[in-house]
A and B are shown apart, each in its own frame.
Chain A
Amino acid sequence: MSPLSRLFSPFVSAVAACRARWLATPAALLLFSAAVSAQEVTKRWGPTEPVSTYGHRFDSLFNLITLLISVSFFIVLILLLVPVIRDRAKPGKRASFDHGNSLHDKRFTAIVSVIVFIVLDALVLVIAMRDLREGFWNDPLPNDPEVVRVEVLGQQWSWNFRLAGTDGEFGTPDDIITINELTIPVDRPIDMNLTSKDVIHSFFLPDMRVKRDANPGAVNEMWFESMATGSFAILCAELCGFAHYQMHGEVHVLSEADYDAWEAEASRLALLGYDENDAEAQWAWAWQE
């Protein structure tokens, strides 16, 4: 047998075995229902529509991986089921004797693994690197006036947010401090500094498809940009004690005009209510890029 035909012989035999109707019909049904159910699952019980610029990148890569591994798993399943059905022990039947040590066999294994690695892993790797560099790791520039900066302080069991207010400086009396409710503008990069007061928390925005740990003792960074207005869930994703499951809040995404009005009003109220003796409220840190 030539190396090439040898290479494909198991697949050819698998296809040949499928010619038997009793195997082909369930196989086709299985493939069809798997495809339909994957779509149905995503549509009906999958996550909500992605809202952030990054979210669309996540969804498209997720779907691509789903497609690739479904095909791979289907091939594995066929190669598993064919011998299980066809090669049962029968009286007088003898297994073929093959140690699989020939050069052809080694070549087959090597070629298939390289192909699988390229199609499955390398492809996903390249897309992931592109997505990360263009959509997640490219932190907003320090002096970009478009960027809204937020300091996030996790604690058992709530999220504290601090916006710089109209003066754009953290640690000043007009800082807007909120608990479990974060208000941000639409279509502008939101740059975050995250840390924690006590144990590790993880800031999770399912609709934005992003998550970052808030570690005590160090400041972590993350950015995202919402493409739609509305209210979306904030969750804690890292076990942080027995009320971990109740540590959630909401992010309110406002239109640019609404946000400007909200920010001016909130900053004004913050200035009015500022109390320099309130140590609990003085947790701002110097912004870290």
Chain B
Amino acid sequence: MSGDHIHPEPTSFLKKHVFSVDHKVIAKQFLWFGLFWLLIGGMMAMMIRWQLANPGAPFPVLGQLFFPSTGGVIDPAAYNTLFTMHGTIMIFLGLTPVLIGAFGNWCIPLMIGARDMIFPLLNMLSFWTVMLGGAIGFYSLLVPLGASEAGWTGYPTLSTTVGTQGSGETLWAIAVFFIGASSIMGGINYLTTIIRLRAPGMKWSDLPLTIWGIFFTAILNVLFLPVIGSAMILLVLDRMFGTNFYVPASIMSGATGGDPILYQHLFWIFGHPEVYILILPAWGIVSDLLSFFARKPAFAYRVTVGAMGAVTVLSAVVYGHHMFTTGLSAMLGESFMLLTMIISVPGEILFLNWLHTIWKGSLRMHPPMLFSLGLIFVFGLGGLTGIYLATISTDIYLHDTYFVVGHFHLTMAASALFGAFAGVYFWFPKMFGRMMNPLLGKIHFWASIVPITMVFCTMFVSGYAGMPRRYYDHTSAEYLRDIQWLNEFTTLWAFLLGAGQIVFAWNFIRSRWWGEKATSNPWEVGTLDWQMPTPVPHYNFKEIPTVHTGPHEFSNPRLGPDRDWISQTEEMPA
């Protein structure tokens, strides 16, 4: 154990707040970093929605600033950049840092009773690598020929020099590579810490489900981020050094040809697990929070863990469902369809366990609970509509329409975001020593769930009507003109959704400095992180605690009538 060499707390500002190796500081760095990019990515979404509802009209106010050469109008190239960077930013620079970087770093040592991550320096390096990736991504927005325009999926040959000129696309690939490297470092660190540094007495079955979610995500990160990394290296080689991994011979006359489909395989071998990389931490957090705020043990803990594990394993073998229209053979297609449908079984089990957990509980409707219940709702919508897309015969029509956009936003964006919000509202008192305003939290919840449902469910309708995605202007196709009003409707709700997030931003900033002081365990839960004083002392635990009970022993009759929870460090009364 590292217990014998505790370094004194650094005193210089730089060492304490910037180049810190303390997991708590790194967690906050990831949180601010992720929230900043969520803001940028969200603003890009607003611009996308504006263009779709008012094709060719100058974007109000900010348009003159961002698109001066066109008088504020978003031109087709800028539009392609917007949705490309919106996807890339939200996934890699927004949700990943918040869900995995911030909560992973904050929760793992505190919840398993460790003084820090097992590799603190690697932890710091992980943050600064994602920072580098973010900086490269940001810089790519400013280069002369414009940033990446090939979609967040970056399919060749559009993403090679055949389809996009300039350095924007190359910088995009390099940025994704660095962000991936950061996730691998984090993953290795998380796995090793969870395996090696659990407090004495803490069995695997005593881990909070949050930690299990992060554990499975870390496995996927370590296994599959290297695949996207290599795909990006090949892309950079194709763009800069004249190789032809993705460019077929028919285009580059005389050269030995490659295959653009190779990239799609590499991308989706990573890309499908990526969906679960984002959703598993959210599932873990929500599985815990439902139990904490229903004052009931998490229903069938082991089954929940098993289901998350099954999803982790299956996520590696379903990626072909992204490629049903590429010319995948019938046999491969049917295999992927079957495997995709099988992955719904652990999903159903999770739903049953969540619903069972809150059944006959004593529900405290605080903001973290609201967002957890909200996740069940939006993930239900998103998960069930996945059946249309897993089924080849319906996917043939729905592929690359707004139906897909609605589906994946509800699953990997809305659900992951709700998990992230639940986590922020929940851990904020421990992180910053102050409570977030519960009333503003509730307003934020209703201002999120109603618009988010309206926005993405309307997309199901427009997708079903045959509206293709990534179109600059749907009124260009005659048969889509009749349903253009759906775009206007979606945009209206999208702006309301954006406005709802201002409530969160205000609440976050205000509470950070002027919020009501938090007690050390305001939610009355038993996990180790809430047993220590607020603010959490340097090196967390002077004495490493011994764990005696599980994380969800709520309302146990043996606790007597006066309290309904017990600390994990306490022995259960006989």
Contacts and interface: CB of A to CB of B under 8 A. Distances in A.
Contacts of A237: 325, 399-401, 468
28 contacts: A58-B397, A65-B394, A68-B387, A72-B384, A84-B365, A84-B373, A87-B294, A87-B362, A89-B362, A89-B364, A95-B555, A99-B552, A100-B353, A101-B301, A109-B303, A113-B352, A122-B341, A132-B393, A198-B162, A200-B155, A209-B397, A213-B326, A235-B477, A236-B468, A239-B470, A242-B76, A242-B79, A245-B476
Interface in B386-425: 387-388, 391-394, 396-397, 399-401
B57 interface: no
Interface of B: 75-77, 79-80, 149-151, 155-158, 162-163, 247-251, 257-261, 294-297, 299-303, 325-327, 330, 334, 337-338, 341-342, 344-345, 348-349, 351-353, 355-365, 373, 376-377, 380-381, 384-385, 387-388, 391-394, 396-397, 399-401, 461-462, 464-466, 468, 470-474, 476-479, 482-483, 486, 552, 554-557, 564
A88 interface: yes
Interface in A208-263: 209-213, 215-218, 220-221, 233, 235-246, 248
B361 A83 contact: yes
Contact of B387 (A124, A136, A242): A124
B353 A117 contact: no
Contacts of B353: 100, 109
B202 to A, nearest CB: 18
Contacts, number: 297
A179 interface: no
Given A69-B387, A121-B344, A97 B373 contact: no
Residue from B260, B349, B472, B473 whose CB has the most chain A CB atoms within 10 Å:
B260
Contact of A216 (B251, B373, B397, B401): B251
B360 A240 contact: no
Contacts of B360: 83, 87, 95-96, 98
Nearest to B83: A239
Given A76-B376, A211-B399, A238 B155 contact: yes
A45 B482 CA distance: 8
Interface in A33-58: 41-42, 45-48, 57-58
B300, B338, B373, B472 pick with most chain A CB within 10 angstroms: B300
A128 B393 contact: yes
B397 A206 contact: yes
A18 interface: no
B76 A243 contact: yes
Contacts of B345: 113, 117
A99 B157 contact: no
Contacts of B394: 58, 61-62, 65, 128
A244 B325 CA distance: 18
Contact of B303 (A106, A112, A236): A106
A10 B359 contact: yes
A93 interface: yes
Contacts of B478: 233
A151 B302 CA distance: 56
Interface string A72-110: 110011011011100111100111111111000110110
Given A95-B361, A113-B352, A218-B261, A58 B393 contact: yes
A148 B571 CA distance: 79
In the complex, the 7 A-B pairs of residues with the closest C-beta atoms, listed nearest first: A217-B248, A206-B466, A100-B299, A242-B76, A245-B471, A121-B341, A100-B300
A181 interface: no
Interface string A121-161: 11011011101100111000000000000000000100000
B300 A106 contact: yes
B358 A83 contact: yes
A284 interface: no
A124 B391 contact: yes
A12 interface: no
Given A76-B380, A83-B361, A206 B396 contact: no
Contact of A221 (B156, B327, B348): B327
A76 B297 CA distance: 20
Contact of B249 (A87, A215, A217, A241): A217
A220 B327 contact: yes
B477 A215 contact: no
A62 to B, nearest CB: 6
B260 A116 contact: no
A200 to B, nearest CB: 6
A206 B337 CA distance: 22
Given A61-B391, A212-B325, A213-B326, A79 B355 contact: yes
A113 B249 CA distance: 49
A249 to B, nearest CB: 10
B458 to A, nearest CB: 10
B371 to A, nearest CB: 13
A61 B390 CA distance: 13
A113 B303 CA distance: 12
B332 to A, nearest CB: 12
Given A58-B397, A200-B260, A238-B400, 9 more contacts: A45-B465, A76-B376, A84-B373, A128-B393, A137-B330, A199-B163, A204-B468, A233-B478, A242-B149
A120 interface: yes
A267 interface: no
B391 A125 contact: yes
Contacts of B334: 129, 132
Given A58-B393, A58-B396, A198-B162, A48 B479 contact: yes
Contact of B297 (A87, A97, A195, A199): A97
B133 to A, nearest CB: 23
Contacts of B162: 198-199, 216
Contacts of A241: 80, 149, 158, 163
B76 A69 contact: no
Given A96-B360, A216-B260, A128 B325 contact: no
Contacts of B361: 83, 87, 95-96
Contacts of B163: 156, 198-199, 240-241
A120 B385 CA distance: 12
B567 to A, nearest CB: 17
Contacts of B355: 10, 76, 79-80, 83
Contacts of B296: 95-98
Contact of A210 (B326, B359, B397): B397
Contacts of A124: 341, 387, 391
Given A80-B377, A248-B477, A96 B327 contact: no
